Amino acid sequence: MQKRFKTLFFIFSLSWSFTLPGQSLAYEPTSTHAGLTEQIVEFYNLSFPEKKITKQ
């Protein structure tokens, strides 16, 4: 029983590892990068109010 579980777990993990990279490559520079950059700038401005980054 335990050997069967290990085999099924291995097969499931292996098949999942082949499908996951296709989903993680869904990076769009115009929306993902812009949104992430805005969040980083907001965090920086809150952390260092004397050195604020302005919108250019």
pLDDT over 60 at 34, yes or no: yes
User: What is the model's pLDDT at position 20?
Assistant: 66
- Range among 11-15, 20-24, 41-45 rated most confident: 41-45
pLDDT band at 24 (very low <50, low <70, confident <90, very high): low
- 6: pLDDT strictly greater than 90: no
DSSP the chain: -HHHHHHHHHHHHHHHHHHHHHHHT---IIIIIHHHHHHHHHHHHHH-GGGPPPP-
Domain coordinates in residue numbering, the chain: 2-51
16 C-beta neighbours (distance < 10 Å), count: 9
Is the pLDDT at 18 greater than 70? The verdict is yes
